[in-house]
């Protein structure tokens, strides 16, 4: 069984007991979350597609940790002009574990 759910403005294909990294969410480590913006649910036999969401469907998750992602380097250059700029950042992420998908 899997579902496509919208979390923090992004869509993820999730299954039970899967761990994913999403943009930073509010809440402490160990807190439970419920996502009700479920766009599609597949239970092995049937596929339910929402218009825009599946009514009554819910994905439950638990926050494992808050962390920072790998460093992303942004490098800009214009050849023969002597223009170079180097910048970088690390994205704030939350690691969550999917506990249950209900219809």
The rounded distance, in Å, linking the Cα atoms of 78 and 74 is 14
The rounded distance, in Å, linking the Cα atoms of 42 and 3 is 6
Per-residue pLDDT at 103: 86
Task: For the chain of 103 residues, list the mean pLDDT of each consecutive stretch of 10.
Answer: 95 96 95 96 92 94 97 98 98 97 91
Query: What pTM, to 2 d.p., does this model score?
Result: 0.84
Per-residue pLDDT at 44: 87
**Alpha carbon 22 to chain centroid, angstroms:** 4
């Amino acid at each position: 069984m899997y579902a496509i759910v919208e979390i923090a403005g992004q869509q993820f294909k999730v299954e039970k007991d899967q761990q994913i990294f999403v943009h930073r969410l509010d809440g402490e480590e160990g807190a439970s979350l419920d996502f009700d913006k479920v766009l599609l649910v597949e239970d092995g036999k049937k596929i339910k597609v929402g218009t825009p969401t599946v009514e009554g469907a819910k994905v439950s998750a638990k926050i494992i940790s808050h962390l920072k992602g790998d460093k992303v380097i942004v490098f800009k250059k214009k050849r023969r002009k002597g223009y170079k700029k180097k910048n970088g950042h690390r994205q704030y992420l939350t690691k969550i574990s999917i506990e249950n998908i209900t219809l």
